[in-house]
A and B are shown apart, each in its own frame.
Chain A
């Protein structure tokens, strides 16, 4: 279980990115964090594994307080939190296999990692993960030879190679086309279910959030303004989070979409996007 207590972050420029966030994520829950750009979503998940240092408040992973760990203990704690990035953040010039194995860096010593002498069990696990996401034929390709969706799947494998109990996912679909976005979201959620991981997924696509998350938290200007189930996202709530806009089309489309989803995959995808564009043009 992840628990944030009065988490605050003020940047050196004086911007208050998080204004005391309290949040609990139980084990195995997939939570989507939505909100407009600049609401503090990225800052929030980076404060959890301290890629960004919080300026106030506490973070607990199970009973371990992350916010006051020393460098070594923090590295050990980071192993338990896999992170997936918007632009994949693969090391472009390394092979797919090396990228996945880099998820094990926290577990192996410097020379073993430098000489690429990972334990056989790590290598086996990496092959299994790549097989699971359908990339086992690409292990020796260089990361920059892959397409966006393939790269993100490698990114997922890297995060899972850490053997985490929590996934921090930062805009996983922002650089992907609509169809690939759904496949990636589905994959992340399936893998979380399989491994009983909890996940915090930053996402600005409300429809995708509603489709895949069990719980939605809306962040606005560093404060939580909504915390509830996906179907509780009414027009008023979205207005509260994002500001005044005609939300009816967005909400209605989701319902239709979920029905379409169970029948077949490829067809229903473009329709809501087109609708949304049309809506944006009309308002």
Chain B
């Protein structure tokens, strides 16, 4: 029985190998290490004086990430309250809609959002911001609504018992309990969005990706290496900031 299993797996492996090998130009693969070394040689030294042209795109990238995150949070908060079982005003209509928004936003990659939005809005930073925003709604709303569902209902009950109105119950009973989660989610998503917004330029949605794309098409490898270094530095910086902030709140 087990041997039959191994045999099947083996056969599938051979079959797939065959398929891959037919569609691969092996000449290129045998040559890969030379190419890599060659590319590496052409990338050093990075063209440092190109930096003067990168400040503005990197600033754009940061703005896309930050404004996109803010946009996403503004939209995610109501969605989360509609999606959470204990705060939704209607289980039959609003909750499924909210859950659908979450799934839709999460299942489409930000690059694809950007592609579509560039066609609609034209290329530029604005399309990037909207793409990041739409992509992040799902993530933020999902984590937030899970936090809302995990709150201590007794505290809510106690506020309700004082004769507080619906909005007051929300502000006094629910919000203080989810505030740390909300802050954590925001910073975490901002950090992810910095990384995502560096590639948005590849499809024309602004930021440093635009420069990256241009340099690759021009085969200006010393510029490419500098851009990659800048991206790494930015991501490291954003991770450091988000770690600091999360420590401060939690």
Contacts and interface: CB of A to CB of B under 8 A. Distances in A.
A92 B177 contact: yes
Contact of B161 (A78, A90, A92): A78
B90 to A, nearest CB: 16
A113 B172 contact: yes
B157 A51 contact: yes
Contact of A93 (B154, B162, B176): B176
A79 interface: yes
Size class of the A contact interface (CB-based, 8 Å)? 20 to 34
B154 A102 contact: no
Chain B binding surface, main DSSP class: helix
Interface in B169-215: 171-173, 176-177, 179-180
Contact of B172 (A51, A85, A102): A102
Given A94-B172, A105-B172, A114-B171, A89 B164 contact: no
Interface in A72-93: 75-79, 81-83, 85, 87, 89-93
Contacts of B161: 49, 51, 78, 81, 83, 168
A79 B158 contact: no
B165 A89 contact: no
Given A79-B162, A114-B171, A89 B157 contact: yes
Interface in A124-171: 155, 158, 162, 168
Contacts, number: 81
Interface centre among B171, B172, B179 (most CB of A within 10 A): B172
A158 B171 CA distance: 17
Contacts of A93: 176-177, 179-180
B160 A51 contact: yes
Contacts of B167: 110
Interface in B130-187: 152, 154-155, 157-165, 167-168, 171-173, 176-177, 179-180
Contacts of B180: 93
Contacts of B160: 51, 78
A82 B158 CA distance: 10
Contact of A158 (B157, B162, B168): B162
Interface of A: 49, 51, 75-79, 81-83, 85, 87, 89-94, 98, 102-107, 110, 113-114, 155, 158, 162, 168
Given A91-B176, A92-B177, A102-B162, 13 more contacts: A75-B163, A78-B162, A83-B161, A83-B162, A85-B154, A89-B155, A92-B152, A92-B155, A93-B179, A106-B163, A110-B167, A110-B168, A162-B163
The 6 A-B residue pairs with the shortest CB-CB distance in the complex, in nearest-first order: A106-B163, A89-B158, A78-B163, A105-B164, A79-B163, A83-B161
22 contacts: A51-B157, A75-B164, A77-B163, A83-B161, A83-B162, A87-B154, A89-B154, A89-B155, A90-B155, A91-B155, A91-B172, A92-B152, A92-B155, A93-B177, A102-B162, A102-B172, A110-B168, A113-B164, A114-B171, A158-B162, A162-B163, A168-B161
Interface of B: 152, 154-155, 157-165, 167-168, 171-173, 176-177, 179-180
